[in-house]
Homo-oligomer: A and B are copies of this chain.
């Protein structure tokens, strides 16, 4: 399939593996890129710019196809050394960067000067327009369904994608709720030029997370996620477990007086233990509603080939048949 996104990124299929903390290592990124999609290394999962440079080099050893690096800008008292991370990305020869969080205006000139394509992740039309106005090449439009941070507007992709298509001039991919050939064709029909998948790629053979995490995603239905940290306006969609229940109860008890410090024990530092050590009960981790559509743990190549085959069948058989009649 050829779309504005496949052309921009130099990839075969319009499928992007989005940045995910403690998941987006070189193994997964290379597997997705080797299968014809766009894999993504999560920049800040690497503790230093030197570690990121090393991870990029590891990925290049595993694939000669294009891959991306995710760079997330979150408000924090001790920000990472972003200029050094950007330098590692540029010197590593990375051709696509996925930015997320705050708008990437500060680093954009450096990335653009290096010929890097920048795809900014947005949960609203106004943020997407802002990204377009500062010079991003594309946006990833992230609906209410998504795992991780859906923003505070709660607009699902059935609305957000056509709204983005009405407003944007730059191309965009859908993100949130994307699992299969049905999602891909639906996204393309609503104006996207491709789709970004997160949770779906965690449940693959190559994802470097504990088997318990993959099994939990397969076991989960669409009803098994919750929104935490909503009272702080830093909402995150996570898979339900006992620790999530405790966190939600604490949020409710604290009411409007809640501060992040009050729940930091419940939230912080648990991702790596879940993702890498499989301790399912100790905390929260990002998971989209799309878990309800995930029923197996294929290789990235099997997954991507299946999606493209399903998309072909939907377009050539199902939709054509409706229309011919």
Chain B: minimal CB distance from A6 (Å): 8
- Residue picked from A157, A162, A163, A223, most chain B C-beta under 10 Å: A162
Q: Are A156 and B157 in contact (CB under 8 A)?
A: yes
- Residue picked from A166, A190, A316, most chain B C-beta under 10 Å: A190
Q: Mark A167-185, 1 if CB is under 8 A from B, else 0.
A: 0000000001111101101
Q: Are B319 and A315 in contact (CB under 8 A)?
A: yes
Q: Which of A179-196 contact B (CB under 8 A)?
A: 179-180, 182-183, 185-191
Tally of contact residues, A, Cβ under 8 A: 51
Give this chain's copy count: 2
Q: Say yes or no: is A153 at the interface (Cβ < 8 Å to chain B).
A: yes
Chain B: minimal CB distance from A108 (Å): 27
Q: Are B179 and A189 in contact (CB under 8 A)?
A: no
Contact A158:B155 (CB < 8 A) given known A188-B319, A191-B182, A322-B3:
no
Q: Are B318 and A323 in contact (CB under 8 A)?
A: no
Q: Are A155 and B223 in contact (CB under 8 A)?
A: yes
Q: Say yes or no: is A145 at the interface (Cβ < 8 Å to chain B).
A: yes
Q: Say yes or no: is A131 at the interface (Cβ < 8 Å to chain B).
A: no
Q: Name the residue on B nearest A174 (C-beta).
A: B158
Interface residues of A (CB under 8 A from B): 1-3, 14, 125, 143-145, 153, 155-163, 165-166, 176-180, 182-183, 185-191, 222-223, 289-290, 292-293, 311-312, 314-316, 318-320, 322-323, 325
Contact sample, A vs B, 14 pairs, CB 8 Å cutoff: A1-B325, A143-B156, A145-B159, A156-B158, A156-B289, A159-B177, A159-B290, A162-B180, A163-B222, A165-B182, A182-B190, A185-B185, A188-B318, A311-B323
